[in-house]
Amino acid sequence: MSAASTDCLERKCAAAVQKLVDLKINFLAIDFDQTMIDIHTGGRWKGTTAELNEHMRPLFLHLVTLATANSIRVAIVTFSCQTDKIREVLELSYNSTIADLIPIRGCDKTWSYEGCGMKCGKQQHMASVVEELQRKPMLGVGEVTKRSTLLIDDDPKNIRMCLKDGVRGVWFNPRDGERLLDDILRLK
Ligand SMILES: [Mg+2]
């Protein structure tokens, strides 16, 4: 990526994050396969972490960094069981202050959601993160609600479920990642 296009992408990400701030969105839930990274691992990645990290979309490097700087908490919500691998990718992509603040909810059994909210799609993943955020006030995020949450996911089923549950969601087009930024600017 040239310096000019990196600059342009960073500016567009800054505008999108400003929009999130204006809408009082304080929790960004991001899918991993085909969204944060540009491939589908199916939770069966056999290569190295560095090789997987090459698939990180530059868009999310800027978006997550800027969101964190604006006190918006970010989490990875995924059906992949390779959460250790994902953690390593986050550590390679972001500085540790940012990476350490990103909870991951995958299909491993390291977490559970006992609440009475919707459990389909990514809803229980997000609800579980919200429980963690509210338990740790030092993370500096105020009350997280359905309207202050935004799911970004390439699977339309998850977005449909999310909208049905009253949570904000934006479908991520894996073939046109930057469209996400325009879609965020269109949120009301
Ligand atoms: Mg996906």
Q: Digits of tens for pLDDT over the chain (188 positions)? A: 788 889 999 999 999 999 999 999 999 999 999 999 999 999 999 999 999 999 999 999 999 999 999 999 999 999 999 999 999 999 999 999 999 999 999 998 789 898 888 889 999 999 999 999 888 876 667 899 999 999 999 999 999 999 999 999 999 999 999 999 999 999 99
Distance between Cα 117 and ligand 1 center (Å): 22
Tally of structural domains, the chain: 1
Distance between Cα 138 and ligand 1 center (Å): 30
Distance between Cα 141 and ligand 1 center (Å): 26
Distance between Cα 31 and ligand 1 center (Å): 6
Please list the residues that pair with 77 across neighbouring strands. Answer: 105
Distance between Cα 74 and ligand 1 center (Å): 16
d(CA 98, CA 91): 9
| The pLDDT value given to residue 162 | 97
Q: Can you say whether residue 143 is alpha, beta or left, with left for phi > 0 and alpha for psi between -120 and 50 degrees?
A: beta
d(CA 70, CA 143): 15
Note down the domain range covering 27.
Answer: 3-185
Distance between Cα 157 and ligand 1 center (Å): 10
| The pLDDT value given to residue 142 | 80
| The pLDDT value given to residue 139 | 66
Distance between Cα 40 and ligand 1 center (Å): 7
CATH number at residue 24: 3.40.50.1000
Distance between Cα 148 and ligand 1 center (Å): 22
Distance between Cα 39 and ligand 1 center (Å): 9
Confidence (pTM):
0.96
Distance between Cα 37 and ligand 1 center (Å): 9
Residues whose Cβ atom is located within 5 A of ion ligand 1: 31, 33-34, 154
d(CA 121, CA 169): 12
Distance between Cα 55 and ligand 1 center (Å): 13
Distance between Cα 35 and ligand 1 center (Å): 5
Task: Could you list the beta-strand ranges (E) of 16-146.
Answer: 27-30, 73-77, 104-105
